Structure 1
Amino acid sequence: MNMRTPELARHEIDTHREAAALWSERLREAGADPDLRARFEEWCGDDPAKREAFRQAEAAWRLARSVADEPEMLELRNKVLSRAASERKPVFSAARLSVLAASVLVCVGFGFVLANWAMPGESVEPSMVIAEQAASDFETQIGERLTTPLADGSTMTLGTSSRARVAFSDQERLVELVSGQAYFDVAHEDGREFVVLAAGRRVTAVGTAFEVRVDSAQLSVTLVEGNVVVDAPVSVDQGAAGEFARSERAELSPGEQLVQVADAPPSVATVDARRLTSWLDGLLIFEDEPLSAAVAEMNRYARRPIVIADEQLSALRLSGAFSAGQSSGFVEALAEYFPEVRIDETDHAIILRSAI
């Protein structure tokens, strides 16, 4: 592949995100090249925005490579490349490739991955904050991600717009997820259970990594490693975001997810836990999802929501990996990949309409 250096391609680069993606690729190709590394350090300088852009480009590459050979990604990559070839358009700039590649979609044929960052005023870039356990209540705003070391050596990471209450005692390590989502990496401790109360259910873990999410009338528990037991509530007011019917307890194995909607019986299914917890790296991965579901997830990270104005667009199927909080890049990719989608923007919303 004829890869130009970032210096020569500078006229095509109008944001740190594209420069960082090019540097990431160039450094990977060159290996241990001290001269190139020195030029990279000169580019970064003391600019924290550039270093953060490079860190995210590297994280996006690692995650995207991990899903590169999955059938959905291979199929979508081929469709994107075929469409680009059929349009007979000029050589793509880094910015255009980031659109065609659906933000962080793996494009092995091009040899690099590009991630979309927010343009000013568009969305909220997910931010990582490390907090000491100085209080029992923890909360994040739109786009924030908060990692909290707990007193027992466990860690809790809150996702966007989430709230949790920690109450440890000599008998029990208790966390109530009041709203949103949280990922727990639990330190093993004999004789003192680690319990999460959410949506009227009790999730008990031992030396475990798992996610709990509460969305209005839906609860989901996703196990990454170890084991958890999900019990019916002792009383319906123990979990704050809804009331759920009693049912038999469920024991989850790694890679399983329990989902309960309102008062329906819970269901357990095998899932890709890595994909479902990709928000920890600031990414959202969709695999053959309806556009309505993808938009709903993107909107959790955006102050200016995406609105589907024409209902027939909701059923469009979407696969790809996107930077959480980057609504502008997401809708640009939609418009490029789906010619039937037209984008209208106002100060308060990004509106998707049918172009047909």
Structure 2
Amino acid sequence: MIALRKSLPIGLSTEEAASHWLTRMDAGRLDDRDQAEFDAWLAESRANADAFEQARRAWSLFDDADGDPHLDALRAAALSAGPEPRRGLWLGMGVGIAASLLVAIGLGVNGLPDWGGDRPASVAAGQAPPAPVPAVALPDRGDFATARGEKRLVKLADGSAVTLNTDSAIRIGYTADRRLVTLLRGQALFEVARNKARPFVVQAGDRQVTALGTIFQVRLDSDRMKVTLVEGKVVVDGLDGAAGRQGAVIVPTVLAPGEELVAMLGAPQKLGRVDVDQQLRWRDGFVEFDDMPLDAAVREINRYSGRQLVIHDGATGKLRVSGVFRTGDPERFAAIVGELLPVRARDLPDNRIELVAAGPNDGATPK
């Protein structure tokens, strides 16, 4: 008789367990003990069998989407959970393979919307796919901005394009010898049309990014400037040769695809490799956290919504959270975090949501 080990995380719903087993199988053949545990789970109830069958059918819907970089990345994230995925990954995902399976299980496979050949890579359960980012054509001069929670695609006169994230602003000032864009605040993704005679220059803070034809994003916060290269090559140096903050010398740095440069106030700049797809999730209306302090995650979520989350307790803010979360929905973020961590949400009179440490009786079943 085979002794069973519990590879299924404790506390998963039937639908979550079904998607767990399916991603485990997709990652590789189950060994004898895992196969026995799966067989026992499947035979445990008709609900388990139905959920797994619907999950299997939903999974097959993505076979036609091979080559989609966003879907491939999300699928890899689901599979990377390994034999014992964290519960946070499954409840926090809200996107990609796991969530797509939950959509199919919850609505029935036939209840999924028909997106034809352009099915988006990420759709949250029970919600329609994100609306296309509105495009606005601009001349080679002028200012453009987005409000909190808004995204906007700006098509420039030379064929380049800029996608502005939430609460962001740019100033366009093309000249005869260069194409100049100043990031005044926020975050923008630049897709640059090649033109050797007119370099494309993005100025942000005390640095500038120069490219000929490439794809990169720049983020400007009050205490840092960050450049992430998606494709091609860029050079990051001081703004018109000026010294950096506090008089530090800024050394020109060439980035390769997948590299990110972070220049933080009062600290040397850092260059390292990042998950580019993770960095660009905002284009689809999501953010991803990987073992991030809760207070930092809250600051990021707050960028996208008028209703703000707050944490007044230092210990609560230091708790770590992982997962992929929809932007612009602080109530849902608070609810999921309450499932992942020992915290609860409470409404404040000023319409903010406070995350506080959960008491010993929070979440207890009434007797």
Q: TM-score normalised to the size of structure 1?
A: 0.70
Shift, 1:349, TM fit: 0.5
State whether residues 126 and 145 of structure 1, in contact with CA within 8 Å, keep that contact through their aligned partners in structure 2.
no
- Which residue identity lines up with residue 224 of structure 1 in the other structure? V
- Hey, what does 2:47 align to over in structure 1? none
One of 83, 89, 95 as aligned partner of 1:104: 95
Distance across 1 between alignment mates of 2:167 and 2:62: 40
Question: Do structure 1's residue 299 and structure 2's residue 302 form an aligned pair?
Answer: yes
Aligned twin of 1:315: 318
Q: Which moved further from structure 2: 273-282 or 158-167?
A: 273-282
Distance in 2 of aligned mates of 1:265 and 1:31: 44
What is aligned with 1:132? Answer: 137
Which aligned runs of 4 or more in structure 1 are off by greater than 6 angstroms? 23-28, 58-62
**Alpha-carbon distance change, 336 to 327 in structure 1, aligned in 2, over 3 angstroms:** same
C-alpha distance in 1 between matches for 2:256 and 2:249:
21
Query: What is the match of residue 189 of structure 2?
Result: 183
Correspondence for 1:344: 346
Aligned partner of 2:124 in structure 1 is: 115
For residues 209-228 of structure 1, what are the structure 2 equivalents within 5 Å?
209-228=215-234
Match of 1:79 in 2: 87
Aligned-residue offset at 1:282:
1.2
Q: Check conservation: 1:232, 1:245, Cα contact below 8 A.
A: no
Name the structure 1 match of 2:79. Answer: 69
String of CA shifts for 1:41-85, please: whole Å, max 9, x gaps.
Answer: xxxxxxxxxxxxxxxxx9996763242233xx458844359xxxx
Q: Tell me how far apart the structure 2 counterparts of residues 30 and 268 of structure 1 sit (CA, whole Å).
A: 39
- Corresponding residue number in structure 2 for 1:41: none
- Cα contact 1:284–1:321 (8 A) shared by 2: yes
AA aligned to 2:87 is: K
Structure 1 residues not aligned, in runs of 5+: 3-22, 33-57, 82-96, 119-124
Give a deviation string over 1:304-336, Cα, whole Å, max 9, x none: 111012211112111111111111111110111
Question: Which one-letter code corresponds to 1:207 in the other structure?
Answer: G
Residue by residue over 1:164-223, the C-alpha shift from the partner in whole angstroms, topping out at 9 and shown as x without a partner, is 001112110000001101100111112110000001111001211000000102000000
Contact 2:92 2:324 in 1 (8 A): no
59-68 vs 215-224, which moves further: 59-68
- Contact 1:104/1:320 (<8 A) preserved: no
The share of aligned pairs that are identical, in percent, is 36
What is the rounded CA distance, in whole Å, between the counterparts of 2:69 and 2:220 in structure 1?
27
5+ residue gaps in structure 2?
A: 1-13, 16-53, 105-122, 360-367
Match of 2:284 in 1: 281
Q: Which amino acid aligns with 2:345?
A: I
Structure 1 pair 31–212 and aligned structure 2 pair: CA distance change class (3 A): closer
Distance 1:76 1:188, change over 3 A: farther
Cα distance in 2 for residues equivalent to 1:24 and 1:173: 49
Contact residue 99 and residue 124 of structure 2 kept, 8 A: no
TM-score with structure 2 setting the length: 0.68
Write the deviation string for residues 217-274 of structure 1: whole angstroms up to 9, x where unpaired: 200000011000001122769x9xx887432111101111100111422110111111
Residue equivalent to 2:10:
none
Which entry has the higher C-alpha Rg, 1 or 2? 2
- Shift, 1:142, TM fit: 0.2
Q: Which amino acid aligns with 1:219?
A: M
Q: How does 1:1-356 map to 2 (within 5 A)?
A: 29=60, 64-70=74-80, 73-74=81-82, 77-79=85-87, 100-104=91-95, 106-107=97-98, 115=124, 128-134=133-139, 136-234=142-240, 245-338=248-341, 340-346=342-348, 347-356=350-359
Q: Which has the higher contact order (CA 8 A, sep 6+)?
A: 1
Q: Distance in 2 between matches of 1:305 and 1:331?
A: 11
